[in-house]
């Protein structure tokens, strides 16, 4: 495998890490925010559907952001490890 192919493989892993983090974060935060909204409005007489959609939207937005951050952090560690392996010998 050439150096260019290896670099592309590592960058693909970084992108996959970011996308996976965003997906996991979106699901987890959507469930968390929807649960919080459900608990907050459980005893009220209001229609829960619009507020659950608000909680779902906020959770997805927050999860994409936070999951992307954690995925980028993990991806940067992979990239750093690869760069340390490919440094020229002194």
What are the boundaries of each domain within the chain? Answer: 21-40+48-82
pLDDT tens digits for the chain (90 residues)?
787 888 888 889 999 999 999 999 999 999 999 999 999 998 888 888 999 999 999 999 999 999 999 999 999 988 888 888 887 777
Q: Do 21 and 68 touch, CB atoms closer than 8 A?
A: yes
Q: How many helices (H) and strands (E) does the chain have?
A: 2, 0
**Residue 71 contacts by C-beta under 8 Å, 6 or more apart in sequence?**
17, 18, 19, 20, 21, 22, 25
DSSP codes, 38-71: HHHHTTS-S-HHHHHHHHHHHHHHHHHHHHHHHH
């Amino acid at each position: 495998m050439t150096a260019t192919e290896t670099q592309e493989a590592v960058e693909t892993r970084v992108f996959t890490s970011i996308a996976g983090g965003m997906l996991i974060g979106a699901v987890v935060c959507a469930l968390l925010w929807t649960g919080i909204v459900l608990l907050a409005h459980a005893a009220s007489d209001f229609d829960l559907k619009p507020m659950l959609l608000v909680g779902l939207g906020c959770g997805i937005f927050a999860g994409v952001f936070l999951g992307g951050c954690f995925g980028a952090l993990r991806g940067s560690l992979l990239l750093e490890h690869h760069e340390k392996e490919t440094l020229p010998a002194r």
